[in-house]
Every structure is written in structure tokens, then in C-alpha cells.
Amino acid sequence: MNRAPTMASLDDGYRALVIGASGALGTAFCEWLKQDPRCAGVRELGRNTVPELDLEHPATIANAATELAAEAPYQLIIHAAGLLHRDRIKPEKSYSAIEAEALQAVFQVNTLGPALVLRHFLPLLDPQGAMAMLSAKVGSIGDNRLGGWYAYRASKAALNMLIKTAAIELARTRPHSRLLSLHPGTVVSALSQPFRGATSARSADVAADQLLSLIDQLTPADSGQFFAYDGERLPW
């Protein structure tokens, strides 16, 4: 870490929550936040934490939120979990490779699980706080020039719609909060390992730093918008 990390847009003594804390980016977010002298504590959630939060088991999402309610409100919530590939799931190069089982698995982790995270964890967000969910530029319909990656693209496009819709509702009751969809770029991680270009991949530490800086700079007027890690506003 080359700078003293601090989230100036959040109150001194803020509490942070990172969902998907065991992944490369999730771990990096936690490390950065723990170094912020203004941060009073970082709660980490994932499949191996107590309480458990597993996006493929919806009951754990509700249960985790119930258990953490006593700690609320959180001024910063980051959702850093996602699925691109695993054992028999790979990004499709053609529509002929579309499989129902893979579609269901990818949507469960990238869309359906996060939808329930919005339902159960937005009530735990401070009225002045920020919640950021990691999406992906390939989920942009307007930016899709190459095709392929059907399940991943569609699941992230659907996630973007959920975030946009929830942000509109949130603005009615908590107009000073921020709900953001963020593209982290290509990060050195297990998720991107088979696909990343050696020249474009950044370390999770660098990516987390850039994303936290971006969250800190964005305002309630930016809530419900889709941004790349460098601040570029992305098309839906």
C-alpha cells in the first residue's frame, strides 16, 4: 500500500461490511479498510464465515442479515462475490454452447443471490452510506461488440437492472445514500485467471484501492449509475 487509505466521504468511526470477503478482491478490500484509521471495524462475510453467507443458499443471506442487524448501520457495504467459471462451467463462445444448468448456476451467484443481498442488507445501510456491487463491463448491452459469454453477460446485465431499480427506490427514503454498480477491470484472481491478458491485469490490491477511491468520490447524485474503476461512466 503506497498511500494511507481513508474514506473521507464516510463519518469517522464508520463500520464496513464486505460480502465475498475470501476472494481476491474481497480480501484486498478488507485489508485496505482495516488500514483506514477512520474505520471502526470491518465485518467479513462469505461461505466460510460465521455467520455464513452463501449466494447459492438463499436462506444464509437472510440469516446473515438478521444476525448482523445488531451491528448496523454500516456506512459502507461492498458486494464482491461473483461467478464466471468453475468445474464444468465456462464462458460460452457460441449460442450452441448454452446450457440450462450453467445458466442457472451463474445467475444464482451473479443475479439472484445479489438480489436477495439488496433485499436483506440495504435496510442495514446507513442513510448517509454507500453500497457498491461489483458488476462487469461485459454486462453492458450498449458496449457488447464481441458477443459470447452468454450467461455471464446476461447475469451482469440483470444485476445492473436490479441495482438501478433499487437505487430509485432507495432515493425516495434515503436520498443521501449511494448504491453503485462498479466494473473492477481485469484483476489477478481465480475468476479471471484463464481469461485475463497479462498486460491488462492489475493486482487485487491496486484494483481495490482504485475502487475505494472511486466510491469515495461519487455522490448521491451518482447513485444507480454504472462506473468503471477509473471513473468512466459505462452505458447500460
- Give the architecture (CATH level 2) of 14-228: 3-Layer(aba) Sandwich (3.40)
Upstream peptide bond of 184 is cis (omega within 30 degrees of 0): no
**CB-based contacts of 169, cutoff 8 Å, min separation 6:** none
Confidence of residue 96 (pLDDT cuts 50, 70, 90): very high
d(CA 222, CA 68): 27
At 94, list the grid cell. 457460441
Contact (Cβ atoms closer than 8 angstroms) between residue 233 and residue 150: no
pLDDT tens-digit map of 151-178: 999 999 999 999 999 999 999 999 999 9
pLDDT at 3: 58
Contact (Cβ atoms closer than 8 angstroms) between residue 204 and residue 187: yes
- DSSP state letters, the chain: --S----TTS-TTEEEEEESTTSHHHHHHHHHHHH-TTEEEEEEESTTSSS---TTSHHHHHHHHHHHGGGPPEEEEEE----S-BTTB---SSGGG--HHHHHHHHIIIIIHHHHHHHHHGGGEEEEEEEEEE--GGG-STT--S---HHHHHHHHHHHHHHHHHHHHHHHH-TT-EEEEEE--SBSSTTTTTT--TTT-B-HHHHHHHHHHHHHH--GGGTT-EEETTSPBPP-
pLDDT at 132 over 90: yes
Average pLDDT over the chain, rounded to an integer: 93
* pTM score, whole prediction: 0.94
Domain range list for the chain: 14-228
Confidence of residue 189 (pLDDT cuts 50, 70, 90): low
Over range 78-104, report the average pLDDT.
93
pLDDT at 191: 52
